[in-house]
């Protein structure tokens, strides 16, 4: 399943996405029906296993592009999620060009890479195997920039052939600098350096933006792969807002 994300990036347009962390297909269906351009299934920090991931991918509707963040930059993780039929992989903790090269090789079949052959669901269970192999190199490789070393090596990382895009992990990046958040001057400068590298290399960048301030910052920098938050954050925001308004209404009708 490719979806509309690759086209939006080729056209230099902003693509809005959401993190998926709740292990339930209905959550995926609701998010994809709501109009997100892409969904990121988080296997690094969320309690998602491979079997549940397969069920959740079946619930993707419309043109939303499914991506998966693997637990680590390890070919064993990568081949398993790709065989389930995702359009691309987000690789955490990419700090050197060597890391990026391994990430790309993990997504490519020999002789270009080291991915094992056995696409299963990705090839419609054998019904479209040859068609899948013909387009297998279209798998998106998104590298996550979240360390000081990554920022230092950003130009070399983005110059690795096969890297589709990069993504700023603002929390991990800020902690790497001994800070707590992207608004610190040193962290902002690091993100701005990544944005400059994006413009120089032509590799689109992205960022996790759970609030309006981070969203405006990312858009001003020209980032195209923009995450508006995650399923549990949307749920908590809705709960808190509904309770706040209900309590305000209760105050209005309660006799003083």
Catalytic residue among 45, 180, 183, 242: 45
Residue 50: Cβ within 10 Å count? 12
Number of Cα atoms under 13 Å in the Cβ half of residue 109 = 12
The pLDDT assigned to 172 comes to 95
Residue 254, token pair as written in the block = 């309660």
Q: Where are the chain's structural domains?
A: 5-230
Residue 105: Cβ within 10 Å count? 17
Is pTM beyond 0.85? Reply is: yes
φ and ψ at 42, to 5 degrees? Answer: -95, 105
The pLDDT assigned to 35 comes to 96
CATH among 3.40.47.10, 3.40.50.720, 3.20.20.60, 3.40.50.2300 for 5-230? 3.20.20.60
The pLDDT assigned to 101 comes to 98
- Cα separation of 223 and 220, whole Å? 8
Tens digit of each residue's pLDDT, the chain (256 residues): 789 999 999 999 999 999 999 999 999 999 999 999 999 999 999 999 999 999 999 999 999 999 999 999 999 999 999 999 999 999 999 999 999 999 999 999 999 999 999 999 999 999 999 999 999 999 999 999 999 999 999 999 999 999 999 999 899 999 999 999 999 999 999 999 999 999 999 999 999 999 999 999 999 999 999 999 999 999 999 999 999 999 999 999 988 7
* Contact predicate 136/145, CB 8 Å: no
**CA dist 34 → 27, 45, 58, 63 (Å):** 11, 24, 16, 11
114 as an active site residue: the answer is no
């Amino acid at each position: 399943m490719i979806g509309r994300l690759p086209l939006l990036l080729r056209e230099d347009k902003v693509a809005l996405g959401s993190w998926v962390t709740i292990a339930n297909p209905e959550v995926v269906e609701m998010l994809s029906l709501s109009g997100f351009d892409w969904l990121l299934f988080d296997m690094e920090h969320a309690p998602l296993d491979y079997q549940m991931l397969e069920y959740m991918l079946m619930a993707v509707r419309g043109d939303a592009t499914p991506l998966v963040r693997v637990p680590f930059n390890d070919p064993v993780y990568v081949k398993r999620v790709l065989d389930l039929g995702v359009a691309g992989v987000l690789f955490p903790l990419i700090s050197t060009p060597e890391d990026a090269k391994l990430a790309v090789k993990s997504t490519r079949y020999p002789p270009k890479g080291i991915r094992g052959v056995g696409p299963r669901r990705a090839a419609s269970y054998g019904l479209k195997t040859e068609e899948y192999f013909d387009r297998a190199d279209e798998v998106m490789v998104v590298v996550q920039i979240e360390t000081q070393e990554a920022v230092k090596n950003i130009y070399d990382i983005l110059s690795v052939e096969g890297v589709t895009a990069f993504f700023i992990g603002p929390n991990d990046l800020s902690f790497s600098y001994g800070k707590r958040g992207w608004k610190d001057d040193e962290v902002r400068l690091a993100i701005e350096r990544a944005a400059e590298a994006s413009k120089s290399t032509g590799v689109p960048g992205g960022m996790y933006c759970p609030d309006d301030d981070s969203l405006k910052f990312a858009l001003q920098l020209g980032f195209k792969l923009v995450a508006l938050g995650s399923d549990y954050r949307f749920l908590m925001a809705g709960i808190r807002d509904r309770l706040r308004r209900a309590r305000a209404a209760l105050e209005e009708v309660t006799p003083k």
